[in-house]
C-alpha cells in the first residue's frame, strides 16, 4: 500500500454529517476495475449536475481555489454505510491523503488505513479551530511519526492512532505480508479449532 | 467477572493478540458475492490463492437480474459471470442465476444453515450484521480485508466495545422488527453504535421469530455498529435443524449442546446500556437521507424551528433533495412507486405481512416484490402469495438485491418518491435523484394501495 509519513496540503471542508459511501462514490461505478481509477467518480452526484456534465457551483470541490485540496475535513460519521472500498480509492485517486472527522464509519476507517489514506479522528472543537481561516486557503501539515496536525499560524493538535497501523502506514506494508509471518501459528490454531468444532464443516 | 456473548465468540477465535486489543481472528465462514471482483483481482496480484475454499461460499445478488430486461447492461451480467469464474478458479461453492439456493447473501446464508451460532462470519458487505441474529459474530469488511480472508482465513480486528440494548414490552398490531430497529437508530443516532457490537436482549427479543431477528440485526450497521447479535435459544436451534448446510444428526445435537453455552453471563458487564420500551412504538418511516431520520407515521416533517442552527444547511439540502414541505404530515406524502425486498425485508414472513395488506386493495403506483432468495420465492409461491400480489397489481420478481442498491438496473427515477422496505435512504441510493422512505413490508404495501404514506393500522378493514 501507499506509505505515509508526512503530508502538507490544502484542507477542504465538507461541513455535513453522515456523509455516506454512496455519496463518496455512487454504486453504479463499483464494477470498474481498480486500475481504471475513480478520480472522476469521487462525490460524483454532489459534484456534477444530473446529466453528469456540468460541475455544480455550490459543491466546495468545484471552487477553483480548493480543487487541489488533499486533506478533507468533514462532520461526524464520515464514510458511514456501505463497505465499498471504492470510497477510499476514489478519495486517493482524486489526490486526498488525509481525512479528518470527529468519527468515521468503522469499515471506512479500516479501509482507509489499509490503503494509505490517513483517517484521523479529531474532536469537533479542534476541527473548528483548525478551520477557522475560512475564506482563505487552510494549509495543514500532518506528521504521522509525531501524530500531529499543525497550521501555518502554529496551532498544533495531536491525534491517536493504533501503533501497528502507524507502523504499517510508515512502511507501506500490507496486512497480508504481516500475517504470512504468522503462518505456523495460524495452522496450529486451525488444526486445534477444527478438531474442537467439527460442525464448522458443511455436510 | 462474567463474559458477554460477544466476549465468548471473540476470545474463542483469537490466533494472536497484540497488547492494544488488536487480534488476529480465525474466520469460520466467508461469504462472497458478485460485487467482490476487485478482491479476487488483488488476490491474484498478491500471488495467493484461497486458503480454505470449503469455508468460503459465493452468492450472486448485487448485479443479478430480477426480471427479463431486454435493455440489461452487459456489464451487470459480466459481474455475475465473473463471480462464477472466480469461484470456479478457487474451488469455492457458489450459487448463481437459476440455482435453487441463490439469493441475497444475507437471506440465503441463514436459511441454508451457512450461518451458525458461535461462528465468526464475514462478508464484503456492510449488512453482514444480519447473521448475528443466529448468535454468530458477523460483520462487513472492505475489499482489502476480503482479500486477506481469502488468502489467510483470518482477519486483524480491533476489539470493539460492547453495548446491550434491552427491549421489553409487547409490539403493538402492525408494529414489526423494522419499526423497532428504525426507532433504535433514531434513538441512538446513525453513529450511536460506532465502535460497538450490539447485543439485543429482553422479552421482546426472545419472543421474536428468527426472521424478525434477522431484520433487527441487519440494520445495526445503520446505527454505526458493525455487528448486532442475539444469543441463540430454542427458536434458533429449531430454525437451524435440517437446514441444507447445517450440521446433521448427531453432529447437530453435539453442536446444540455447545451452542447452549453461548449467552452472556448474568454478571457480564457492557460498555454501554440502552433500554427501549417496545410497547410504545408505532409504525415508523424515515423522512430524510439518513436512517436516523425515523419518525412514527403519526408525526410530521420537522419544521425549521425544530432544527439546531449548526444543522440548518444540511437540513435545507435534505428538504430540497427529498422535495418536502417542512411541517407537513408524513401521511400526506404522495409516492410514485414501492419496493418490497432487500436483505432487510424479503423473507417469507415479510412477504406474508405485505400480502395480507395487498389483499385489501390494488396498487395505485408501480410496485415490485423481490423475494430474498429462490427458497423464499418457491415457498411463497407454494402459499399462493405471488397470486395475491399479482391480483393487487404488485409485480412479482426473481430474487436479488434489486432496487435497494440499484446496481442491477432496477432503480427509482430521479425525483420519484419510493416507499421502500430496504435499509438506506441515502441520496441517490436507489438511483440518482431517488427519494427513499424506509418502512416495514406492511407499511410499504399500505402505501402501494393508497398511493401515499399511510398508517397501516388505520387501513385494515377500511378499504374494500
**Where residue B18 sits, what CATH number does that domain have?**
3.30.499.10
Q: Does B37 touch chain A (CB under 8 A)?
A: yes
Sheet holding B14-17, edge to edge: B14-17, B22-26, B154-158
Please check whether residue B409 lies inside any domain of the structure: yes
User: How far is A199 from chain B, CA to nearest CA, in Å?
Assistant: 6
| B107 within 8 A of B211, measured Cβ to Cβ | no
| A6 within 8 A of A142, measured Cβ to Cβ | yes
Question: Residue B464 pLDDT more than 50?
Answer: no
In sequence order, what are the beta bridge partners of B137?
Answer: B120
User: How far is A79 from chain B, CA to nearest CA, in Å?
Assistant: 10
Q: Which domain holds residue B413?
A: 290-459
In sequence order, what are the beta bridge partners of B161?
Answer: B196
A27 and B194 within 8 Å at the Cβ level: the answer is no
Per-residue pLDDT tens over the stretch B201-259:
999 999 999 999 999 999 999 999 999 999 999 999 999 999 999 999 999 999 999 99
Chain B CB contacts of A103 under 8 Å are 191, 194-195
Measured distance CA(A157)–CA(A14) in Å, rounded: 20
Calculate mean pLDDT across residues B284-307. Answer: 97
Residues B224 and B334 in one domain: no
Can you say which residues of B are annotated as belonging to the binding site for [4Fe-4S] cluster? 343, 401, 404
* In chain B, residues 262-321 whose CB comes closer than 8 Å to chain A: 289-290, 292, 311, 313-314, 317
* In chain B, residues 340-369 whose CB comes closer than 8 Å to chain A: none
pLDDT averaged over chain B?
97
Residues B67 and B183 in one domain: yes
Residues B52 and B177 in one domain: yes
Chain B CB contacts of A115 under 8 Å are 144
Question: Residue A171 pLDDT more than 80?
Answer: yes
Per-residue pLDDT tens over the stretch A5-25:
999 999 999 989 999 999 999
Chain A CB contacts of B195 under 8 Å are 103, 106
Domain end (from B250, B274, B298): B274
> What pTM was computed for the model?
0.97
pLDDT in the model for residue B463: 47
DSSP secondary structure code for residue A187 in this structure: H
Please check whether residue B284 lies inside any domain of the structure: no
Please check whether residue B280 lies inside any domain of the structure: no
A76 and B54 within 8 Å at the Cβ level: the answer is no
Query: Could you tell me the three cell numbers for B294?
Result: 425515523
Residue among B41, B424, B432 whose CB faces A33 most closely: B41
B428 and A23 within 8 Å at the Cβ level: the answer is yes
- What are the C-alpha distances in Å from A56 to residues A10, A16, A43, A62, B231? 21, 17, 11, 7, 49
Please check whether residue B94 lies inside any domain of the structure: yes
Residue among B41, B63, B432 whose CB faces A45 most closely: B432
Question: Residue B297 pLDDT more than 60?
Answer: yes
Calculate mean pLDDT across residues A160-184. Answer: 93
Domain end (from B240, B274, B308): B274
| B62 within 8 A of A31, measured Cβ to Cβ | no
Q: Does A45 touch chain B (CB under 8 A)?
A: yes
DSSP secondary structure code for residue B26 in this structure: E
Pairing of strands A156-158, B14-17: unpaired
Measured distance CA(B417)–CA(B434) in Å, rounded: 7
Nearest to A117 by CA among A95, A90, A92: A92
Number of domains comprising chain B: 2
pLDDT in the model for residue B11: 97
Instruction: Tell me the ipTM for this assembly.
Output: 0.96
User: How far is A142 from chain B, CA to nearest CA, in Å?
Assistant: 24
Residue among A17, A110, A202 whose CB faces B314 most closely: A17
Residues B218 and B362 in one domain: no
**Residues near B428 by Cβ (< 8 Å), separated by ≥ 6?**
A22, A23, A26, A45, B434
Measured distance CA(B276)–CA(A107) in Å, rounded: 27
Chain A CB contacts of B26 under 8 Å are 186, 189-190, 193
Calculate mean pLDDT across residues B17-46. Answer: 95
* In chain B, residues 15-34 whose CB comes closer than 8 Å to chain A: 15-16, 18, 20, 22, 24, 26, 28-29
pLDDT confidence band for A135 (50 / 70 / 90): low
Please check whether residue B13 lies inside any domain of the structure: yes
| B30 within 8 A of B149, measured Cβ to Cβ | yes
Chain B CB contacts of A28 under 8 Å are 406-407
Please check whether residue B150 lies inside any domain of the structure: yes
User: How far is A201 from chain B, CA to nearest CA, in Å?
Assistant: 7
A83 and B156 within 8 Å at the Cβ level: the answer is no
pLDDT in the model for residue A1: 86
pLDDT in the model for residue A108: 98
Query: Could you tell me the three cell numbers for B302?
Result: 420537522
Residues B329 and B228 in one domain: no
Residues B327 and B261 in one domain: no
Residues B74 and B216 in one domain: yes
Residues B242 and B298 in one domain: no
B428 and A26 within 8 Å at the Cβ level: the answer is yes
User: How far is A180 from chain B, CA to nearest CA, in Å?
Assistant: 8
Residues B361 and B264 in one domain: no
B148 and A17 within 8 Å at the Cβ level: the answer is no
The top-scoring range by mean pLDDT among A53-57, B69-73, B182-186 is: B182-186
Can you say which residues of B are annotated as belonging to the binding site? 343, 401, 404
pLDDT in the model for residue A136: 74
pLDDT confidence band for A203 (50 / 70 / 90): confident
Rounded percentage of chain A residues whose pLDDT exceeds 90: 86
Element (H, E) at B137: strand B137-140
* In chain A, residues 87-106 whose CB comes closer than 8 Å to chain B: 88, 103-106
pLDDT in the model for residue A134: 54
Q: Which residue has the cell 426480471?
A: B67
Residues B225 and B340 in one domain: no
Residues B254 and B336 in one domain: no
Calculate mean pLDDT across residues B99-112. Answer: 98
A22 and B28 within 8 Å at the Cβ level: the answer is no
User: How far is B54 from chain A, CA to nearest CA, in Å?
Assistant: 8
* In chain B, residues 94-133 whose CB comes closer than 8 Å to chain A: 113-114, 116, 118-119, 124-126
Per-residue pLDDT tens over the stretch B381-436:
999 999 999 999 999 999 999 999 999 999 999 999 999 999 999 999 999 999 99
Please check whether residue B464 lies inside any domain of the structure: no
Interface mutation target, options B20, B144, B227, B256, chain A, most CBs of A under 10 Å: B144
pLDDT in the model for residue B462: 53
Q: Does B142 touch chain A (CB under 8 A)?
A: yes
Per-residue pLDDT tens over the stretch A24-66:
999 999 999 999 999 999 999 999 998 888 999 999 999 999 9
Residues B257 and B332 in one domain: no
Please check whether residue B279 lies inside any domain of the structure: no
Q: Which domains does chain A have, with CATH numbers?
A: 6-200 (3.20.19.10)
pLDDT in the model for residue B413: 97
Amino acid at each position: 500500500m501507499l506509505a505515509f509519513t508526512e503530508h502538507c496540503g490544502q484542507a477542504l471542508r465538507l461541513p455535513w454529517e453522515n456523509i455516506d459511501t454512496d455519496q463518496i462514490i455512487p454504486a453504479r461505478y463499483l464494477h470498474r476495475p481498480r486500475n481504471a481509477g475513480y478520480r472522476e467518480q469521487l462525490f460524483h452526484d454532489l459534484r456534477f449536475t444530473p446529466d453528469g456534465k456540468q460541475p455544480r457551483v455550490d459543491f466546495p470541490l468545484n471552487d477553483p481555489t480548493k480543487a487541489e485540496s488533499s486533506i478533507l475535513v468533514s462532520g461526524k460519521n464520515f464514510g458511514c454505510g456501505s463497505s465499498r472500498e471504492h470510497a477510499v480509492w476514489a478519495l486517493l485517486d482524486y489526490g486526498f491523503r488525509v481525512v479528518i472527522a470527529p468519527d468515521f464509519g468503522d469499515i471506512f476507517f479500516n479501509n482507509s488505513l489499509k490503503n494509505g489514506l490517513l483517517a484521523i479522528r479529531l474532536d469537533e472543537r479542534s476541527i473548528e479551530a483548525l478551520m477557522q481561516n475560512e475564506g482563505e486557503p487552510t494549509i495543514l501539515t500532518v506528521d504521522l511519526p509525531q501524530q500531529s496536525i499543525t497550521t501555518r499560524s502554529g496551532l498544533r493538535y495531536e491525534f491517536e492512532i493504533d501503533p501497528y497501523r502507524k507502523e504499517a502506514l510508515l512502511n507501506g506494508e500490507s496486512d497480508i505480508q504481516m500475517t504470512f509471518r504468522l503462518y505456523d501459528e495460524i495452522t496450529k490454531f486451525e488444526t486445534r479449532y477444527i478438531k474442537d468444532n467439527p460442525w464448522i464443516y458443511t455436510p | 467477572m462474567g463474559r458477554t456473548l460477544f466476549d465468548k465468540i471473540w476470545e474463542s477465535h483469537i490466533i494472536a493478540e497484540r497488547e492494544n486489543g488488536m487480534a488476529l481472528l480465525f474466520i469460520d465462514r466467508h461469504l462472497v458475492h458478485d460485487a467482490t471482483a476487485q478482491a479476487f483481482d488483488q488476490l491474484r496480484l498478491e500471488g495467493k490463492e484461497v486458503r480454505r475454499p470449503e469455508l468460503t461460499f459465493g452468492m450472486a445478488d448485487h448485479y443479478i437480474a430480477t426480471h427479463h430486461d431486454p435493455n440489461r447492461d452487459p456489464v451487470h451480467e459480466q459481474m455475475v459471470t465473473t463471480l462464477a469464474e472466480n469461484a470456479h478458479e478457487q474451488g469455492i461453492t457458489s450459487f448463481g442465476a437459476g440455482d435453487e439456493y441463490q439469493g441475497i447473501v444475507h437471506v440465503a446464508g441463514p436459511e441454508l444453515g451457512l450461518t451458525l451460532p458461535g461462528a465468526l462470519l464475514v462478508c464484503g458487505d456492510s449488512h453482514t450484521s444480519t447473521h448475528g441474529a443466529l448468535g454468530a459474530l458477523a460483520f462487513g469488511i472492505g475489499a482489502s480485508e476480503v482479500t486477506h480472508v481469502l488468502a489467510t482465513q483470518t482477519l486483524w480486528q480491533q476489539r470493539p466495545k460492547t453495548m446491550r440494548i434491552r427491549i421489553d414490552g409487547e409490539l403493538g398490531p402492525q408494529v414489526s422488527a423494522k419499526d423497532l430497529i428504525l426507532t433504535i437508530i433514531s434513538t441512538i443516532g446513525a453513529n450511536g453504535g460506532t465502535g460497538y457490537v450490539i447485543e439485543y436482549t429482553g422479552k421482546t427479543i426472545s419472543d421474536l421469530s428468527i426472521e424478525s431477528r434477522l431484520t433487527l440485526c441487519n440494520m445495526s450497521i445503520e446505527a454505526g455498529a458493525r455487528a448486532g447479535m442475539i444469543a441463540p435459544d430454542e427458536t434458533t436451534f429449531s430454525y437451524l435443524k435440517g437446514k441444507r448446510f447445517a450440521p446433521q444428526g448427531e453432529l447437530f445435537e453435539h453442536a446444540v449442546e455447545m451452542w447452549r453455552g453461548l449467552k452472556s453471563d448474568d454478571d457480564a458487564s457492557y460498555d454501554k446500556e440502552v433500554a427501549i420500551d417496545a410497547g410504545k412504538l408505532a409504525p415508523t418511516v424515515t423522512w430524510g437521507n439518513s436512517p436516523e431520520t425515523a419518525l412514527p407515521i403519526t408525526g410530521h416533517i420537522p419544521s425549521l424551528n425544530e432544527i439546531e442552527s449548526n444543522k440548518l444547511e444540511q437540513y435545507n439540502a435534505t428538504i430540497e433533495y427529498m422535495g418536502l414541505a417542512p411541517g407537513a404530515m408524513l401521511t400526506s406524502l404522495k409516492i410514485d412507486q414501492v419496493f418490497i425486498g432487500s436483505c432487510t425485508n424479503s423473507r417469507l414472513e415479510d412477504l406474508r405481512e405485505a400480502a395480507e395488506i395487498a389483499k385489501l386493495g390494488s396498487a395505485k403506483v408501480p410496485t415490485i416484490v423481490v423475494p430474498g432468495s429462490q427458497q423464499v420465492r418457491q415457498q411463497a409461491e407454494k402459499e399462493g402469495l405471488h397470486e395475491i400480489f399479482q391480483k393487487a397489481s404488485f409485480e412479482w420478481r426473481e430474487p436479488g438485491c434489486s432496487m435497494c442498491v440499484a446496481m442491477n438496473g432496477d432503480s427509482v427515477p430521479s425525483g420519484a418518491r419510493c416507499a421502500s422496505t430496504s435499509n438506506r435512504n441515502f441520496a441517490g441510493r436507489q438511483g440518482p435523484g431517488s427519494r427513499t422512505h424506509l418502512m416495514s413490508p406492511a407499511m410499504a404495501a399500505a402505501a402501494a394501495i393508497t398511493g401515499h404514506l399511510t398508517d397501516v393500522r388505520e387501513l385494515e378493514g377500511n378499504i374494500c
